[in-house]
Amino acid sequence: MSKHYEGLINKYRTRLPVTASTPVVTLNEGNTPLIELMNLPAQIGGNHRILCKFEGLNPTGSFKDRGMTMAVTKAVESGAKAIICASTGNTSAAAAAYAARAGIKSFVLIPDGKIALGKLSQAMMHGATVLQIKGNFDDGMRLVQELSSSMPLNLVNSINPYRLQGQKTIAFEVIEALGDAPDFHVLPVGNAGNISAHWIGYSEAAGVTCGSCNHCGGNCAYLSPKVSSKRPVMVGYQASGAAPFLRNAMVDSPETLATAIRIGHPVSWKLAWAAQKESNGWFNECTDDEILVAQKLLAEREGIFCEPASAITIAGLMKDLKADKFPTGSTIVCTLTGHGLKDPDIAIKQSAAPIVVQAERDAIADVIAKKL
């Protein structure tokens, strides 16, 4: 293998469903930084080690690239000429980019008016056919399943098991960085594929077959080598207006300004419950206001700019730290699923406006003097 990092399939090929002749479609995704928080822990409570896996630093700016490199690789291997997905934004950005890379067509269904601008620009720029439906993500999810069963379209939502196979590699990277699995892993939950994929990865790394894996049917082919001594407790956070796991029922009209997780009928429902139960974990919910406070805090105090759906991880963590849910001295890893640049509207709305000033030294110095 060359020294140059060539993406997660090449790095973890012995633990993924590929062969030497599989045509790998990659943008060198993965290998994202695990950043330890320096300033926030003192403020949000507890003597814990809190680290953020910043998935916003993937090629299209979200964790979706991990799943998409696998899904598109397998689609191309099977001879597919077109892929389709429903998306709250990030999946469509990743699908469009990897389809472009592979030289195949992509079709993306996005909900009416509820997708962050950065994500829309990506799907458009990479040449996807963007279909804005008069419905929400859950409507889109149902439609792409129908369409892909009757047309030559490869479905690349996380119901496609290859997506979770790619996404499980985040656990391998965390274990490599820490030397073992963390005590807790906290992350947002929308369609619930990612929490299921984390659990598959952590389980395989610990040499344990898990109930989250819909690829191996309980007969896991990728159990070796064992690289961790334990599995973390999994904690999933949902927006209060889109929280089927908190209500223990599907939600028909999900609402949240964290549009990425505006999902009421998660397709990985059973897998995510398995992850929660097997890990002795829990779900919790946050309001939109709590999400925005956490997003701003992380940006201002730590220099990390993630999108609202990702900031719910910090919002939920703050809540659960207050409720004393973590034993002192815990190592807690947070997945920050997407980059803040995805949704510039929300960032600008909640920040101080630029100060308009004459292009003169004294006028500018005046403003600065007041702020120093």
Give the binding site for ligand AN7 (CB under 6 A): 62, 87-91, 158, 188-194, 260-261, 307, 309-310, 337-338
Least distance from ligand AN7 to the Cβ atom of residue 279, Å:
16
Nearer Cβ to ligand AN7, position 181 or 334?
A: 334
**Least distance from C-beta 342 to ligand AN7, angstroms?**
7
- Helices 288-302 and 308-322: crossing angle in degrees, nearest 10, is 90
Of 7 and 111, nearer to ligand AN7 (C-beta) is 111
Closest to ligand AN7 by CB, 12 vs 63, is 63
Q: How many residues does this entry show for the chain?
A: 372
Pair of tokens at residue 54: 């910043």
Query: Collapsing DSSP states into helix, strand and coil, what is residue 130?
Result: strand
- Residue 128 CB, nearest approach to ligand AN7 (Å): 13
Tell me the closest approach of the beta carbon of residue 187 to ligand AN7, in angstroms.
7
Give Cα 46 distance to the centre of its chain: 26
The burial class, CB within 10 Å (0-12 / 13-18 / 19+), for 216 is middle
CB atoms within 10 A of CB 297: 18
Q: Which is nearer to ligand AN7, 205 or 261 (CB)?
A: 261
Amino acid in the structure at residue 66: R
Q: Are 270 and 305 in contact (CB under 8 A)?
A: no
Task: Report the nearest approach of ligand AN7 to the CB of residue 189 (Å).
Answer: 5
In sequence order, the β-bridge partners of residue 278 are none
Residue 6 Cβ vs ligand AN7, minimum distance, rounded to whole Å: 25
When the beta carbons of 13 and 142 are compared against ligand AN7, the nearer one is: 142
Query: Judged by CB, which is closer to ligand AN7: 23, or 344?
Result: 344
The DSSP annotation for 96-111 comes to: HHHHHHHT-EEEEEEE
